[in-house]
Every structure is written in structure tokens, then in C-alpha cells.
A and B are shown apart, each in its own frame.
Chain A
């Protein structure tokens, strides 16, 4: 899963490709369609949200809502709490990730495979699903605390309140930092390190003075991403019953006070501002500091073998992290099979009836998830390919803006997009019917598509960049028109990247909850993520909820695996022909 934050790449101007005035129409209309989509489903709703926060009921501009917001202790508290939780999560995620990155890059040992697994495991379990299971393991009367109390007489309130949220988010999101950091470190030319060693630096000092600073851009990219995702997360605090954070407050206000409640919009604006700030700062620090200095013929950092006690420490840390990371997975698995699990380290009794319940009662939800996510992912790759084509193969003015606009979706929390849709389509019916738009599943699917578009776009753009333009010119010189060239040459050669983009979109949409909660009105429309949330709300529902969660995780894991295979397979033939 590509978690790397990259700057939009400036298109290399292909050598003067104006090939006649007639074709430009096709480009313009394509660009028009893309623009219309982005405008209607991203820019206008978000703009509406921002606008509403600044407008009072007579329509005049006002900062009254903002001052109202900051005058309320609860709101101020929520704001500070959200910031703190996000920053702490980044901090703890870093603490977990940095030693692991160091171990991977610096040492040769078989645990490297374990670390790679650690880089993927947490991401396949959405945090709100894991949170429930973690209650049973790390909660006040969970397995761990019961054991600790029995043996040592103390407990760790790690699942209480804000600390609990930080805990859950940290162990879910640390792979973003891990993967980015490892990638950045691998790009450092070994000569950098060798010259430092030559001048007398070694060990930890070498790491902190040379290696880490050089990988800082990669680290910051990952850290910014973690910050944004934690700051915007609705599902986890909601499931854990923490309401004094920004996202839950916005949700609660919109649902209980109504879509007109201005505070919900104020919160949305604050969330957008901070998201953009974080991403912008990360991009800014990275600009001009592309330290990937790996020269041709240069090697990467030296690796050495682990010494005796170093080995123990390393493996110890890895195993510890592995256990903690696996806790939600194990917990969910146990829950799905348990009949009664109460105030005990392990469940009392086991059963498979929960899976039975899920397959009889919730087939529709599984089907819904497949439906929405396939359509959303399909839409994403179509848009992604189109935008990539427009940017790299045409001369339309300001075409870079298509990329920027689509990428804005990265900074928009799902919650905010949902609020925007609810507001924008309020009272709007599906054409030719009198069903309100907001009561259909269409907006759910669109929300998935819009929010996943930046990732799919990156995949498509990377894929198109690998297709040398001469391959298309050759087709052209042999008589293939534009459409034929796209169909027979461009798309097949991009297929690997397109598929990877599809899978990434699919699996992240499958476990999205923030926008889903707000946009799903009836149970028959509910996808799996919402279904899990619903199930977790009742006594008898915990078991089936966990079973559904296991199924969701299995789908995501399968998808991640397939996406890796597809990318690997697709790279091989393209590489070969470019001698």
C-alpha cells in the first residue's frame, strides 16, 4: 500500500506535441468532465461547508460562529484534545517505528521479515474494529490487566479515555512512519555514511547525526500523514466512547442538533485547516531536500550482523511490538468465536454461530461493500487514468491543477465531506424520482471514490510515467488514432499501476467509517463497516460484529496481498523492454 507522500510531479513537456487542432476538442471535453466531477463532488461541498461556518442565518459573513466555538469550554477542550491525541499518536508511533526502521536498514538478520510483516499487519485492521477487541484485552478488566492485577497487583489504564484513543491509533498507524522511513533510509548513498565513519562517527551518534537527518523528509511525510489521519478519525473515539474530541463532537452535533448546527461546520473548517497545514508543512520541508542521493554504482548503507545482547534486545523489541500489534487481530478473532467473555482472561466458551448469523443476516452488507467499493475504485481508476493522460500527454493550459484539485481530497476528513454532501444535496431529489439523494447509497459510493482518488491518481500517474511516449508515437505513425493508441498501447502498459490503484482504493474504502456513518440512512444500504459499527451496539451483537470484522480484515488482507503481487508482476515485462 503506497503510504508515501509525493509531490505532484511536473510533467516533462513532451517535445512539442501539438498534433493538429481537431484533437484538442477531445482533450477539452475530457478535462471538462473531470473538472465537473471534482467540482460537484469535492470542491462545492467542501466550499459549502467552509462557507456555512462563516455565515449567519441572514447570509451575512460573520466570525460569530467561530467566537461561539472558542467561547465554549467543551469545544476548546475538544480542540486541544484532538491536537494532543494526534501529536501523541505521532510521537508513540515514532517510538515504535524508528527502532524498527533502524533494525531493518542497519542490520542483517532474519527478523527483517518479521518487521516487514509488522509494516502491513496493523493496516489491515481498521482501528474502530480493533478498538472493541482491545477493550477486552487491555481494558480495565481486560485480559492483560486481570493478569497484571493477579500477579503484580497493579493495572495499566491504557484503554481509558484519550490515552486509550492514542494507544489504539498509535499501534494502527505506526507503519506509515515505518515504511516511509525505511524507504528514505534505503535511498541514502553508502558513501555518506562511509565518509562520516572516516571522520570518526559511529553507532548511535552516526545514526542521529547523519542517517536520521538525511531520512528526515521521509519521516516527516509519514508523520504528517499519521497526524492528519488521527486528527480526522471519527470511528475510533466514537466506538471507544470518547466524545470530547473534535470529530465526535462534530458528528454528535450534526446528528443531534441537525444539519443546520453551525458548530459542526466550524469544527469541519478547523479540521480542514489543520490537515492542510500538516500536509503542506511536510511537503515544504521535503521540497529542495530530496536527499535521495543514491548515485549510479553507489551502494546503500552498510549492514552488519547483530551482536549477542543486541540480538536479544532487537528480537525482544520486535516480538513485543508484534504481540501488541497482533492484539486487536487476536482479540477480534477470539470475540468472533466466543460465547461469553466477561471479566476473564480468555472467553468462557466458544461457538461458530456468530459466523452463521453474519452469513444469514448480513449477506446484504457484504454485498453492499463489494458493490460500493468496486464502483468507487472503478471510478477512481477511470478518473486517475484520465487525469494522468491529460497531464502527461496533452498541452492543455493549467492542467496541473487537475492533479492539485484531486489531491485536495487528501486533506478533507471523511466526516467533513459527508457533512458537505448532506448540506449540498439537502432537498435535492434523484432526477425523475422523488427519492432524496441523501437517502440513497449513491453519495456513499461517491464519497469513497472522491477520498480515494489521490491514491489511485498517484498510481496511475506513476504507471503512465513508465510508458515512454515513443511507444505511443510509434502506434501513431503506424496509423492508430488517439483512441486506438490509448486502448491498445497506453492502458495495457499501465495495467499494473492501474490495478494497484484499484486494489488500494477498494481496500481502504471497504473499511471506511467516518463518512459512512453520516451518509448511511437505512440498514439495507449499510456496507460492512457500518454493519460492524451497528453490531457492536448491542449485547448479542458483539459476536457477529466481531465475525463481520474478521471477514472485513480478511478481505483487506487478501486485497493487500494481491495488490503486491500485481505490482511485482506488472513491473517485470515493462522493465525488460527498456534496454
Chain B
């Protein structure tokens, strides 16, 4: 199956239900063949945006372009945009075969063509033997594959996935994640999928967009969002972040002095994107913080703070500590190796922040 790759562009899309604004001036461009994620908490408008692309919602302002053509007025059944629903929406009164064949029957394709294409689609998802079964007889993962087969068999321009993995248990999720990614690579389809799980988005998507309350926060690759979040929301949503409000008091050529509220003063190197003096929020990830016993020798490449351990969690590959520093609670990840003992609660420790990995965000 060789499918056309199309681009999708949303320009100034705004959508409201009555007085509630659900999407506010959203602008995204998705490249042909991309595996793109829409990430956000519930109520962020991500599903609405997806359904808008499918044609089930209507935006009031803006344009929606597929391969440069505005499809705003086109009804859903004419858009040829394949959508896989969160609950798979397999029809219980039809067999797997008929479910998959549905779109082809609608297009009045010949019996021979249908047979060929459905067979190929089922083979693609590994369910060739399941043609005569009914959806009720399949497991969750199998149902999802049927839903995928049903959608790709009609050779759509775009593939839309609405929270495809949220109904599966954890192990299955990881497995299906890979399968979907492989499928997309094989077909080369431009794919947009919606999720609230940042791990899912980060592991599968080429690029992703983060939405909050209908406003687009940031678009970029997973690494870009993880390392260089533009605001508190993205910092906190994509991965865990330590956020300390404070003021940059002195800017001296190569260094700055940051006074964190309730935390104390830190001397940090000045980067190209470090802001000038004034109020700001210091953001750094737990894995950039090392934790030592209070009186141990410390290296100068890090900025050190004293604190007391409040609680710890053993995660297998690392241990996560919550350390009280002054008024703030700082999360630090310590890589684990066999035999390493955890710091007990109450221990006096020293936290060392990798200063080159500190980011400053607007307050």
C-alpha cells in the first residue's frame, strides 16, 4: 500500500461553544509523513481539534488546509480523513471482515478489489485469521488493530487517532505504541494522534504540540520541549520540573546571581537565553540534581543547596527524593546501582544543580 503524504495546516483556528472558547487562535503546521502528537490535559481542546480536522466540529474562525486546500465547509464523509476512535467504535452487528470492508463498500469498489484490499489490511495488522469473528470476541488490542485496519484500508489522506492507547493496560500500551509507530512508518501516512500521556507522546511522535485551555503552548520535537520549555506549563507537563520563583539580582558578564524565594542565593552561568535582572522562575529537571551527604566534597560545576530529605521513592532505575530546601520542595533523581542505600527521611543532604541545564521562564 503506498499512500500519498499530505501536509495539514491550521491557521488561526478558533472554536467556541456558546460563550465557552474551546480553541483560541491555534496555528499548527504538520509536515507530510509526520507522526504528530497533540498533547494536553483534559479540557485542553486537543480532542476538539482532532474532531475538527475530521469534520465533526466546526470552527468559527480560521482555515484548515489539507495539502494547501481549505476543507472548512466539507462534510466529514467527503474528507477522506481516517479516524480511529477512543473506544474503537467497531460495529457489533458486523464481522471483523465487514467492519474493515465498510468504507470500500461505501465507495462501491468491486468485490474482487474489496477482497484483496481487506485481506491486505488484515495481514498488515496481523489479524488475517480473524475475519469471521465479531468484535465482541476480540481482546482490546485486537479490537484496536481492527479499527486501524478499517481506517487504513480506504487509503485516507490523514490518519487521526483519538487517545488510542488509553483503554489498554500498561504492558499492552507499550506494545501497541510500537506497533502503531511501525505501521505509520510502513505506510508513510501523515498521522495525528491525541493523548494526555506525555510519555506516549514523547516516545512515538516526531513532533508534538502542547495545548492548554485551547491555547497552543509550544510545538516542537520531544527533546526540544523537554530541554527548552517556553513556559511553566510546558515545563511541568512534559516531564517533571522543579520550579523556583525568584529574582535575578546581579548580572555580571559570565555569571548571574539568582535569589530564589525562601531558598537562598545561587550563582549560575549566564547563557544566551538567560534573561536580564528582574523577576523570573528557575526551572531544572530532577535528573540534573545530584544528592550528597552534607559534608561531602562538592564540585564547582554545580550550584549547591542544603536541604533535608522528606521522602523517597524507589523507582528501580533511580531513586526519587523530595528534599526540603528552605521554603521549597525540590525533587531529585539519583541513578540507582546495586547496593546503593537510600537516604532515610530526615537526612541532611546537599543538592547540586547542573547549572548549564537550568532554564529561566517568565513569571
Whether chains A and B associate is: yes
Give me the interface of A with B, judged by CB distance under 8 Å.
Answer: 15-20, 22-23, 468, 470-471, 473-481, 484-485, 488-489, 492-493, 495, 573-574, 576-579
Contacts of A488 in B (CB 8 A): 102
User: Please, how many angstroms separate the alpha-carbon atoms of A311 and B15 in the complex?
Assistant: 67
User: Please, how many angstroms separate the alpha-carbon atoms of A312 and B128 in the complex?
Assistant: 62
B241 at the interface (CB under 8 A from A): no
**Is the beta-carbon distance between B58 and A468 smaller than 8 angstroms?**
no
User: Please, how many angstroms separate the alpha-carbon atoms of A468 and B91 in the complex?
Assistant: 10
Instruction: Kindly specify which of B49-57, B248-256, B281-289 makes contact with the partner chain.
Output: B49-57
**Is the beta-carbon distance between B107 and A479 smaller than 8 angstroms?**
yes
Nearest to B162 among chain A residues (CB) is: A470
Pick from A18, A479, A577: contact of B80, CB under 8 Å: A479
User: Please, how many angstroms separate the alpha-carbon atoms of A488 and B94 in the complex?
Assistant: 10
- Chain B residues numbered 67-81 whose CB sits less than 8 Å from any CB in chain A: 73-81
Nearest to B100 among chain A residues (CB) is: A478
Q: Which of A473, A479, A492 has the most CB of B within 10 A?
A: A479
**Is the beta-carbon distance between A17 and B150 smaller than 8 angstroms?**
no
Contacts of B343 in A (CB 8 A): none
Nearest to B84 among chain A residues (CB) is: A474
Contacts of B83 in A (CB 8 A): 473-474, 477
User: Please, how many angstroms separate the alpha-carbon atoms of A468 and B78 in the complex?
Assistant: 22
Contacts of A17 in B (CB 8 A): 56-57
* B side interface size, CB within 8 A: 43
**Is the beta-carbon distance between B92 and A493 smaller than 8 angstroms?**
yes
Contacts of A477 in B (CB 8 A): 54-55, 76-77, 79, 81-83, 151, 160
**Is the beta-carbon distance between A19 and B136 smaller than 8 angstroms?**
no
B229 at the interface (CB under 8 A from A): no
Nearest to A488 among chain B residues (CB) is: B102
Contacts of A16 in B (CB 8 A): 15, 17, 48, 56-58
**Is the beta-carbon distance between B76 and A473 smaller than 8 angstroms?**
yes
**Is the beta-carbon distance between A22 and B106 smaller than 8 angstroms?**
no
**Is the beta-carbon distance between B136 and A576 smaller than 8 angstroms?**
yes
User: Please, how many angstroms separate the alpha-carbon atoms of A480 and B106 in the complex?
Assistant: 6
Give me the interface of B with A, judged by CB distance under 8 Å.
Answer: 15, 17, 48, 51, 54-58, 73-83, 85-87, 89-93, 102-103, 106-107, 134-137, 140, 143, 147, 150-151, 154, 160
* 17 A-B pairs in the complex with CB atoms less than 8 angstroms apart: A16-B15, A16-B17, A18-B58, A470-B85, A473-B56, A474-B83, A474-B150, A477-B81, A478-B82, A479-B103, A479-B106, A480-B103, A481-B77, A493-B93, A576-B137, A577-B92, A579-B143
Closest approach, in angstroms, between the C-beta of A296 and any C-beta of chain B? 18
**Is the beta-carbon distance between B134 and A573 smaller than 8 angstroms?**
yes
Closest approach, in angstroms, between the C-beta of B14 and any C-beta of chain A? 13
Pick from B75, B80, B90, B160: contact of A20, CB under 8 Å: B75
**Is the beta-carbon distance between A577 and B77 smaller than 8 angstroms?**
no
User: Please, how many angstroms separate the alpha-carbon atoms of A492 and B92 in the complex?
Assistant: 10
**Is the beta-carbon distance between B136 and A577 smaller than 8 angstroms?**
yes
Contacts of B103 in A (CB 8 A): 478-480
Contacts of B58 in A (CB 8 A): 16, 18-20
Closest approach, in angstroms, between the C-beta of B113 and any C-beta of chain A? 15
Contacts of B54 in A (CB 8 A): 473, 477
Contacts of B93 in A (CB 8 A): 492-493, 495, 573
Q: A478-B154, A480-B102, A480-B106 are in contact. Are A468 and B89 (CB under 8 A)?
A: yes
**Is the beta-carbon distance between B89 and A478 smaller than 8 angstroms?**
no
User: Please, how many angstroms separate the alpha-carbon atoms of A19 and B77 in the complex?
Assistant: 10
Pick from A19, A22, A492, A578: contact of B76, CB under 8 Å: A19
Contacts of B82 in A (CB 8 A): 477-478
Closest approach, in angstroms, between the C-beta of A485 and any C-beta of chain B? 8
**Is the beta-carbon distance between B136 and A573 smaller than 8 angstroms?**
yes
**Is the beta-carbon distance between A476 and B85 smaller than 8 angstroms?**
no
Q: A15-B51, A23-B75 are in contact. Are A489 and B91 (CB under 8 A)?
A: yes
**Is the beta-carbon distance between A473 and B91 smaller than 8 angstroms?**
no
**Is the beta-carbon distance between A478 and B102 smaller than 8 angstroms?**
yes
Nearest to A576 among chain B residues (CB) is: B136
Q: Which of B75, B86, B140, B160 has the most CB of A within 10 A?
A: B75
User: Please, how many angstroms separate the alpha-carbon atoms of A476 and B75 in the complex?
Assistant: 9
User: Please, how many angstroms separate the alpha-carbon atoms of A19 and B72 in the complex?
Assistant: 10
Nearest to A14 among chain B residues (CB) is: B56
User: Please, how many angstroms separate the alpha-carbon atoms of A485 and B77 in the complex?
Assistant: 10
**Is the beta-carbon distance between A478 and B136 smaller than 8 angstroms?**
no
Q: A468-B87, A473-B85, A474-B83 are in contact. Are A479 and B154 (CB under 8 A)?
A: yes
**Is the beta-carbon distance between B75 and A475 smaller than 8 angstroms?**
no
User: Please, how many angstroms separate the alpha-carbon atoms of A468 and B51 in the complex?
Assistant: 16
**Is the beta-carbon distance between B56 and A471 smaller than 8 angstroms?**
no
**Is the beta-carbon distance between B135 and A577 smaller than 8 angstroms?**
yes
User: Please, how many angstroms separate the alpha-carbon atoms of A477 and B162 in the complex?
Assistant: 13
| Extra pairs beyond A470-B85, A474-B85, A480-B102 (16, CB < 8 Å) | A15-B48, A15-B51, A15-B57, A16-B48, A19-B76, A20-B75, A470-B89, A477-B55, A477-B81, A477-B82, A477-B83, A479-B78, A481-B75, A495-B93, A577-B136, A578-B92
User: Please, how many angstroms separate the alpha-carbon atoms of A574 and B90 in the complex?
Assistant: 11
User: Please, how many angstroms separate the alpha-carbon atoms of A479 and B154 in the complex?
Assistant: 9
User: Please, how many angstroms separate the alpha-carbon atoms of A468 and B89 in the complex?
Assistant: 8
Contacts of A18 in B (CB 8 A): 58
**Is the beta-carbon distance between A471 and B91 smaller than 8 angstroms?**
yes
User: Please, how many angstroms separate the alpha-carbon atoms of A573 and B136 in the complex?
Assistant: 7
**Is the beta-carbon distance between B91 and A493 smaller than 8 angstroms?**
yes
Contacts of B48 in A (CB 8 A): 15-16
**Is the beta-carbon distance between B77 and A476 smaller than 8 angstroms?**
yes
Nearest to A579 among chain B residues (CB) is: B140
Closest approach, in angstroms, between the C-beta of B246 and any C-beta of chain A? 43
Nearest to A481 among chain B residues (CB) is: B77
**Is the beta-carbon distance between B80 and A19 smaller than 8 angstroms?**
no
Q: A471-B91, A573-B134, A576-B136 are in contact. Are A20 and B73 (CB under 8 A)?
A: yes
User: Please, how many angstroms separate the alpha-carbon atoms of A578 and B79 in the complex?
Assistant: 27
Nearest to A22 among chain B residues (CB) is: B75
User: Please, how many angstroms separate the alpha-carbon atoms of A474 and B68 in the complex?
Assistant: 25
**Is the beta-carbon distance between A19 and B150 smaller than 8 angstroms?**
no
User: Please, how many angstroms separate the alpha-carbon atoms of A15 and B136 in the complex?
Assistant: 26
Closest approach, in angstroms, between the C-beta of A12 and any C-beta of chain B? 14
User: Please, how many angstroms separate the alpha-carbon atoms of A212 and B39 in the complex?
Assistant: 51
Contacts of B136 in A (CB 8 A): 573, 576-577, 579
User: Please, how many angstroms separate the alpha-carbon atoms of A22 and B76 in the complex?
Assistant: 12
User: Please, how many angstroms separate the alpha-carbon atoms of A16 and B82 in the complex?
Assistant: 19
**Is the beta-carbon distance between A573 and B92 smaller than 8 angstroms?**
yes
**Is the beta-carbon distance between A19 and B106 smaller than 8 angstroms?**
no
Contacts of A475 in B (CB 8 A): 91, 102
Closest approach, in angstroms, between the C-beta of B39 and any C-beta of chain A? 20
Closest approach, in angstroms, between the C-beta of B156 and any C-beta of chain A? 8
Contacts of B76 in A (CB 8 A): 19, 473, 476-477
Pick from A471, A473, A478, A495: contact of B106, CB under 8 Å: A478
Contacts of B55 in A (CB 8 A): 19, 476-477
User: Please, how many angstroms separate the alpha-carbon atoms of A60 and B37 in the complex?
Assistant: 72
Contacts of A485 in B (CB 8 A): 77
Q: Which of A19, A478, A488 has the most CB of B within 10 A?
A: A478
Contacts of B73 in A (CB 8 A): 20
